[in-house]
Amino acid sequence: MDKIRCRFCENILKYSFVDLGMSPLANSYLKEDQIHQMEPFYPLHAYVCEKCCLVQLKAFQSPDEIFSEYAYFSSYSESWLNHAKRYTEQMIERFGINSKSQVVEIASNDGYLLQYFKERGIPVLGVEPAKNVSKVAQEAGIPTIVAFFGVQTAMGLAAEGKHADLINGINVLAQVPDLHDFIRGFKILLKPHGVITIEFPHLIRLIEENQFDTIYHEHFSYFSFFTVKKILDKHGLTIFDVDELPTFGGSLRIYACHAENSSRPVTKRVSTLLNKEIDAGYADLQIYRSFSENVKEIKQNILTFMLNTKKEKKSIAAYGAPAKGNTLLNYCGIRTDFLDYTVDRSPHKQGQYLPGTHIPIYQPDKIKETKPDYLLILPWNIKEEIMEQMAHIREWGGRFVVLIPEVKVFS
């Protein structure tokens, strides 16, 4: 077996975090003429580095192959748009972002966030590798370049005078195979007194709430605050503040600036969270190595629920076609023998099939047509939004189900 090295500190990886078996790429949705063709599966095995505690997957596909055409469009979630709008207001108020500022978003998707800065007359620029997604942003009047972000892209933008007062990256850090190149790009593009904000799912929430479904090939790494601080420190960037957010099952938003910028005092929240993680054991291996047994137990509970429900002759449909759902369904072996179909608001997914399990994706109206007994919410992180949208299932006695962090039925 080839030795796998840590993508941050290059230590040889010896310790398993969790092995989720073989799985297809989580966003590789299939058209009808593809479901009888050979489908590539790859090991979905996460390791933890004993030196820096970075949890990571081996990269089996390049970012070009994964992200050049992408199925996820941020604008189809109302709660996510509200999050983006709140972020815009907070940054304008806290850092004085105005019409003379330059805001750059890395992995800007369909312009879901930059639109709110643009509405306030603030110059914006999106950097988005997926051509199909960036086209939507461009058509909406959001300046967007089609590129992967790193040193080369940052130097090109800097040469054009696009140094940023605010650089934002939401849910992109996990998708970066070359962490050093990516973070160096931030350092190059940031103005001397500029601010970086990066949001990412918090590894601690993943472990403590059994969120194994958030592990998939498109996410190369999973971060604690302890580890992400090491990464930014190495590249001359200081984390001066941190927020704990409810998004995506529990995320962190870090605020960083150039290490030589003394105008941003480090808040107490930074040391408090760092000490909290260290005291809880996240700076050593034991807590990571026990995660695998928890995952096996939740899998057994999920399959018990599915088997008992089908024995009772009850029907189950799903809401959503998120990447995390594909990890869960493939790991648990849930196909159309358990789950009749799923629905999704995004027209970019409707009419296709989930990778691996080949469960069909329909429009949400399908729920009213078939009146399932249970509606399984795959994007459990926005379950409140979905339960509100689909409240009418209660008219025929339908009930909602989430499987993470545990099997739970909502009447």
Which domain CATH number covers 105? 3.40.50.150
First to last CA, the chain: 49
For residue 395, CA distances in Å to 57, 368, 391, 400 come to 44, 10, 8, 13
Domain count, the chain: 2
Check residue 265 and report its DSSP letter.
P
Residue type, 320: G
pLDDT given for residue 73 in this prediction? 62
Position 230: which residue type? K
- Are 249 and 340 within one domain? no
Preceding omega of 246 cis (within 30 degrees of 0): no
Sheet holding 251-258, edge to edge: 144-145, 124-127, 103-106, 164-170, 190-201, 251-258, 237-245
224 and 320 assigned to the same domain: no
For residue 209, tell me if it sits in a domain.
yes
Q: What's the pLDDT tens digit per position in 43-86?
A: 999 999 999 999 999 987 666 665 555 555 666 678 889 999 99
How many Cβ atoms from other residues are within 10 Å of residue 38's Cβ? 6
pTM recorded for the entire structure: 0.92
Low-confidence ranges of the chain (pLDDT < 50): 1
pLDDT score recorded for residue 270: 98
Q: Is residue 7 part of a domain?
A: no
Same domain, 309 and 191: no
Same domain, 346 and 231: no
At residue 110's C-alpha, the angle toward residues 107 and 113, to 5°, is 75
Question: How far is it between the farthest Cα atoms of the chain?
Answer: 66
Neighbour count for residue 332 (Cβ, 10 Å): 20
Query: Are residues 307 and 257 part of one domain?
Result: no
Q: For position 371, which CATH number holds?
A: 3.40.50.720
289 is a domain residue: no
- Residue from 290, 211, 217, 278 nearest 251 by CA: 211
Q: What is the reported pLDDT for 68? A: 54
Owning domain of residue 94: 74-262
* DSSP designation for 76: G
Predicted pLDDT of residue 59: 84
pLDDT of amino acid 71: 52
**Residue 24 resides in a domain:** no
Q: What angle do CA 216, 224, 107 make, to 5 degrees?
A: 55
* Nearest alpha-carbon partner for 251 in 200, 215, 214, 324: 200
